[in-house]
């Protein structure tokens, strides 16, 4: 081999050596640091991702997680069910910062549908998991629960959170509020007549947001402003996707039809509650006028002089004046605050129920309908949490589950009470049998440092 070829080989070896050294240094410098979740036995671990600096191998291999109550469901309507189950974590220090579970619903002819969720489970706790209004393709006959142990991410709560006495979030007050005679009175309705689009400000947008806010999976923001913003547009798209409507983000004819089908007036013969802030007068038309005419027909002998048409005509005006005269009201021929209040008072007298224990018979504003639960919970930790969820399960006197609900909560301040309010718009089977709360889940992730805020 001549000197020239030997020299070229030496230079090539030096070059490749330099390239290899530089590449190796770069790979080493950018190689992820060993962790307890890299599925490798490194950094002095006794097993794969356990022992040494990680959780004990016994905790990993024999997780102290068990199903305390198997999943059950309540059939609501339209292939919709409320699902609930309870998990127990018997470890006093470690909890699941994150884990996945799958619910498998079995229907007729062994049809199945699976839903996978991600959640958390604190240490030394029993937690009820509530999933309201799960939409299925069939009415299920049974439901099965599978916990994905490979998804378990173990962690300790944020430093300073004491779980020795149970949950750090305590319910202080809870009231179940019934509307006037749920069996005989119509829930408040929302009738949509306009095309609603991004940027609009309109009373129908206000009502749209009321309806969407009762579906946290569709409208988690839950803001009721009357302004059609981006969040409302996103919620409308999710609503359209859920019901197989062309996804536009606008409330057009098909979306209006579905909204009115779900939340609009069902039967003119049902009793109605009147908005004391709304004026009804000659020349107006709509559902409010229909319900006024129906009330007058039943209470004031309006029927011989006219028909229930939904149009505020002269016959309606005359019948209303007769009603106002009978009850010593100003005979204006219009429904103002005093007349509306009197009508509602008479409805209350006719249909109200007796109060019992914590069950309150009440009247609802237009934002409320079939049932309402109000309360607050106290945050005993030293942290301010940005957001969370709270779920509730309601039962009859024999602990038979009737219905469930879940809502988002925000601005959970240390040392303060956080108010919450559940409102049902859809009809509830056997609502008159509800006697008590039989399960509450305050879902605030006490492991998540990103959910902490100091700006409240």
Alpha-carbon distance 155 to 167, whole Å? 17
Picking from 264, 283, 308, the residue at the C-terminal end of a domain is: 264
CB contact at 8 A, 431 and 371: yes
Residues 2 and 51 reside in one and the same domain: no
Give the residue among 175, 185, 174, 188 at the shortest CA–CA distance from 352: 185
pLDDT in tens, 103-157: 999 999 999 999 999 999 999 999 999 999 999 999 999 999 999 998 999 999 9
Q: Is residue 185 part of a domain?
A: no
In a domain, 164, yes or no: no
Cβ atoms within 10 Å, residue 416: 14
CATH number at residue 434: 2.60.40
Residue 374 domain flag: yes
> What pTM, to 2 d.p., does this model score?
0.58
Instruction: Single out the residue in 292, 326, 352 at which a domain terminates.
Output: 352
172-203 pLDDT tens trace: 878 888 775 444 434 445 667 788 999 998 87
Q: Are residues 237 and 276 in the same domain?
A: no
Sheet holding 359-361, edge to edge: 359-361, 169-178, 371-379, 417-424
Number of domains in the chain: 6
On whether the CB atoms of residues 339 and 329 are closer than 8 A, the answer is yes
Question: Residue 148 sits in a domain of what CATH number?
Answer: 2.60.40.3230
| CATH code where residue 258 lies | 1.10.101.10
Query: Do 400 and 328 reside in the same domain of the chain?
Result: no
Characterize the bridge pairing of strands 359-361 and 169-178.
Answer: parallel
303, part of any domain = yes
Q: How far is CA 349 from the centre of its chain?
A: 34
**DSSP bridge pairs for 116:** 102
CA of residue 25 relative to chain centroid, distance: 51
Label each residue of 400-433 as H, E or C.
CEEEEEEEEEEEECCCCEEEEEEEECCCCCCHHH
Do 227 and 256 reside in the same domain of the chain?
yes
**160 is a domain residue:** no
- Mean pLDDT score, 419-424: 88
- Whether residue 122 sits in one domain with residue 41: no
Q: Cα torsion at 331, 333, 337, 339 (round to 10°)? A: 70
Domain that holds residue 49: 34-62
* 70 lies in the same domain as 150: yes
Kindly report the number of other CB atoms within 10 A of residue 57's CB atom: 16
Residue of 10 and 400 predicted with greater confidence: 400
Say whether both 207 and 228 belong to one domain: yes
pLDDT over threshold 90, residue 57: no
Output 204 or 280, whichever has higher pLDDT.
280
| Digit-coded pLDDT (tens) for 69-103 | 999 999 987 788 999 999 999 998 899 999 999 99
Is the domain of 283 the same as that of 315? yes
Q: Are residues 82 and 142 part of one domain?
A: yes
DSSP string across 128-163? EEEEEEEE-SS--SEEEEEEEEEEEEEEPPPTT---
Mean pLDDT for 315-335 is: 88
Clarify whether residues 10 and 54 are in a common domain.
no
Q: Is residue 125 part of a domain?
A: yes
Residue 22 domain-assigned? yes
| 398 and 436 co-located in one domain | yes
Cβ pair 394, 434 in contact under 8 A: yes
243 plus 278 within the same structural domain: no
- Cα–Cα distance between 309 and 290 in angstroms, integer? 6
- What count of other Cβ atoms lies within 10 Å of the Cβ of residue 10? 10
| Residue 274: predicted pLDDT | 82
* Residue that is last in its domain, among 205, 231, 264: 264
410 within domain boundaries: yes
């Amino acid at each position: 081999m001549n000197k020239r070829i030997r020299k070229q080989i030496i230079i090539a070896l030096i070059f490749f050596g330099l390239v290899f050294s530089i590449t190796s240094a770069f790979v080493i410098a950018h190689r992820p640091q060993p962790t307890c979740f890299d599925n490798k036995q490194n950094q002095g671990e006794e097993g794969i991702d356990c022992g040494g600096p990680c959780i004990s191998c016994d905790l990993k291999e024999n997780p102290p997680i068990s199903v305390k109550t198997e999943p059950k469901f309540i059939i609501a309507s339209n292939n919709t069910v409320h699902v609930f189950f309870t998990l127990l974590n018997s470890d006093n220090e470690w909890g699941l910062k994150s884990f996945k579970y799958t619910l498998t619903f079995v229907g007729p002819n062994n049809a199945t549908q699976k839903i996978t969720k991600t959640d958390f489970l604190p240490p030394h706790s029993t937690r009820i998991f509530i999933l309201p209004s799960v939409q299925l393709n069939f009415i299920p006959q049974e439901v099965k629960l599978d916990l994905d142990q490979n998804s378990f991410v173990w962690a300790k709560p944020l430093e300073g959170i004491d779980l020795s006495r149970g949950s750090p979030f305590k319910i202080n007050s809870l009231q179940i509020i019934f509307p006037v005679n749920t069996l005989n009175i119509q829930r408040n309705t929302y009738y949509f007549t306009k095309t609603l689009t991004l940027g609009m400000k309109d009373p129908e947008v206000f009502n749209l947001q009321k309806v969407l806010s009762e579906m946290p999976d569709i409208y988690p923001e839950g803001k009721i402003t009357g302004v059609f913003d981006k969040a409302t547009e996103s919620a409308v798209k999710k609503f359209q996707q859920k019901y197989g409507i062309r996804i536009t983000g606008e409330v057009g004819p098909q979306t209006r039809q579905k909204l009115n089908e779900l939340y609009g007036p069902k039967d003119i013969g049902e009793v109605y509650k009147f908005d004391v802030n709304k004026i009804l007068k000659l020349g107006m038309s709509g559902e409010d006028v229909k319900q006024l005419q129906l009330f007058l027909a039943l209470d004031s002998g309006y029927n011989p002089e006219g028909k229930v048409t939904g149009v505020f005509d002269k016959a309606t005006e005359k019948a209303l004046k007769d009603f106002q005269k009978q009850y010593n009201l100003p005979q204006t021929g219009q429904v103002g605050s005093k007349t509306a209040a009197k009508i509602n008072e008479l409805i209350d007298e006719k249909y109200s129920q007796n109060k019992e224990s914590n069950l309150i018979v009440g009247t609802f504003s237009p934002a409320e309908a079939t049932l309402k639960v109000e309360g607050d919970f106290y945050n005993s930790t030293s942290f301010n949490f940005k957001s969370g969820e709270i779920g509730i399960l309601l039962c009859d006197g024999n602990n038979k589950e009737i219905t469930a609900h879940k809502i988002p909560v925000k601005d959970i301040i240390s040392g303060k009470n956080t108010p919450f309010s559940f409102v049902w718009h859809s009809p509830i089977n056997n609502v008159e049998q509800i006697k008590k709360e039989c399960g509450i889940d305050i879902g605030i992730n006490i492991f998540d440092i990103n959910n902490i805020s100091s700006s409240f």
